[in-house]
Amino acid sequence: MGHAPFSLPKGRLEEGFEDKRPRYSDGEAVTEANRCIYCVDAPCINACPTSIDIPTFIHKIATGNVKGAARTIFDANLLGQSCARVCPVEVLCVGDCVYNHWGREPIQIGRLQRYATERALELDRDLIKKNKRATKSGKKVACIGSGPASLAAAGYLSLMGHEAVVFEKRAVPGGLNTTGIAPYKMDAQGSVDELNWILELGDIEVRTGVEITASDDGDGQVSAATLLQDFDAVFVGIGLGADSALELPDEAGAGVYGAVELIEQLKLDPQASLQGVTRAVVVGGGNTAIDIAHELAILGVPEVYMAYRRGFERLSAYDHEIEWGRTDGVRVRVNAVPTGYQRNPDGSLKGIVLADAEDGKAKAGTDKLMECQLVAVAIGQARLTGLAKVFAGVELDAKGRIVVDDATCRTGHAQVFAGGDCVNGGKEVVNAVEHGKRAARAMDAMFSK
């Protein structure tokens, strides 16, 4: 099953973004690695959702064994390249490094991981493929969605001698790793490069523009029932659905976007432009809100506000992301709640009406128009519940998340596994990778019986 590499259109806005945390040089990496004291029961390992053996890979860097370091990382996390760049390490491994307790700079684990994975693949691109299981099982798995969860599942399945076909409804593969990650952390090309490397492991096919549906086998569609017939197992890695709206009058129309939809346009559409936008308002207080606000500020929008209905202490975005955004000009307005929009006679956006808020609720008589040309609504994403329900035995919890066994990611249907955002409700890339890995190992065990 050979595969031509995927590519992206040129002329995307994000191509001009500077790499904010460039890769270490050999000397910088060895110096940083030598600071690690290789803790026993290392807290950094426990803080990593994929349990990478961090002290071991750092020790290998310190001793000049870059390929060995990368092997240690990829054994636990096949998407170690993108995770090195997009993981919120400040609240995971780096946040738990023992150096923090001594008031000293923690070990820069993410940057060391980026150095090890990228440098090792420059030295030997087939580093991991070489260890692929020689005997083919003849088993075939369908992965629905091509985000980090499915790619991890497909990649580990390939290494264990099985075949995977990944179905992606979008034209571009990679899930949110391609369409959603803030470009100052990693641009879409970084995601596609990693995906192309995973495809080189062999026995993986990615079919883009194919949606798995509840019932139809129409044009560009394959039904869930067909998958169950044609494959030995199915992995559901469909992520989350469309952006939630504020549901206020005049919301639909020019200038008002769902945040994830806007991020995707800015990253991938060569026609995307912010010309004429002098003020933008982002509604929400989470990580997606700060990401789009920060991105708009870096792209040159002169005034970017985040409007959040509660106080600073309730912002759910990571502190380090807020601080980073503020240094690039993002202004945060707390206790401000949207109550409506105003439009010009030609339908263009005049602004958003914000009221002062108390306990998240608008105070009567405090409405005030904030003129702006762009609003991005970042208040969450819907759950994609329709597909999961058609597999007999697959259950959803009260929040619309697919219920799985934690150790195996198996659903209530013996042939169906699931992982990533559709299971955890929306976490990080690294959590999705861990689910894909657990499911692949459980399927391998099932196939060997």
Ligand X SMILES: Cc1cc2nc3c(=O)[nH]c(=O)nc-3n(C[C@H](O)[C@H](O)[C@H](O)COP(=O)(O)OP(=O)(O)OC[C@H]3O[C@@H](n4cnc5c(N)ncnc54)[C@H](O)[C@@H]3O)c2cc1C
Q: Which residues bind ligand SF4 (CB under 6 A)?
A: 36-39, 42-44, 54-55, 58, 97-99, 107, 109
**CB-based contacts of 405: which residues, under 8 Å, 6+ apart?**
none
DSSP state of 116: H
CB nearer ligand SF4, residue 93 or residue 263: 93
Give min distance, CB of 131 to ligand X, in A.
24
Q: How many residues bind ligand X (CB under 6 A)?
A: 38
CB nearer to ligand X: pick between 93 and 149 = 149
End-to-end CA distance of the chain: 25
Residues 261 and 242: beta-carbon distance below 8 Å: yes
Contact call for residue 86 and ligand X (CB under 6 A): yes
Of residues 87 and 306, the one with the C-beta less far from ligand SF4? 87
Q: In the 8-state DSSP scheme, what is residue 361?
A: E
Among ligand X, ligand SF4, none, what binds residue 75 when CB lies within 5 to 8 Å by partner kind? none
Q: Going by C-beta distance under 8 Å and a sequence separation of 6 or more, which residues neighbour residue 157?
A: 141, 163, 164, 203, 204, 440, 443, 444
Q: Which of 32, 168, 187, 444 binds ligand X (CB under 6 A)?
A: 168
Q: Which of 68, 110, 148, 190 touches ligand X (CB under 6 A)?
A: 148
Q: How far apart are CA 189 and CA 268, in angstroms?
A: 10
- Whose Cβ is closer to ligand X: residue 73's or residue 355's? 73
Of the candidates 167, 231, 235, 417, which one interacts with ligand X according to CB under 6 A? Answer: 167
Q: Of ligand SF4, ligand X, none, which one does residue 284 interact with (CB within 5 to 8 Å by kind)?
A: none
113 touches ligand X (CB under 6 A): no
Q: Any residues with CB less than 8 A from the CB of 400 and at least 6 apart, and which?
A: 383, 385
For ligand X, the closer of residues 240 and 354 by Cβ is 240
* Other CB atoms within 10 A of residue 171 CB: 9
Shortest separation between residue 99's beta carbon and ligand SF4, angstroms: 6
Burial class (CB in 10 A: 0-12, 13-18, 19+), 244: middle
**Interaction between residue 115 and ligand X (CB under 6 A):** no
Interacting partner of 176 out of ligand X, ligand SF4, none (Cβ under 5 to 8 A depending on kind): ligand X
Query: How many residues belong to the chain?
Result: 449
> Residue 418: beta bridge partners?
236
CB atoms within 10 A of CB 25: 11
Provide the CA 223 distance to its chain's centre, in angstroms. Answer: 26
Contacts with ligand X in 414-433 (CB under 6 A)? Answer: 420-421, 427-430, 432
Contact between 239 and ligand X by CB under 6 A: the answer reads yes
* Residues found near ligand X in the complex (CB under 6 A): 86-87, 144-150, 167-170, 175-177, 180-182, 185, 211-212, 237-239, 260, 263, 288, 291, 384, 387, 420-421, 427-430, 432
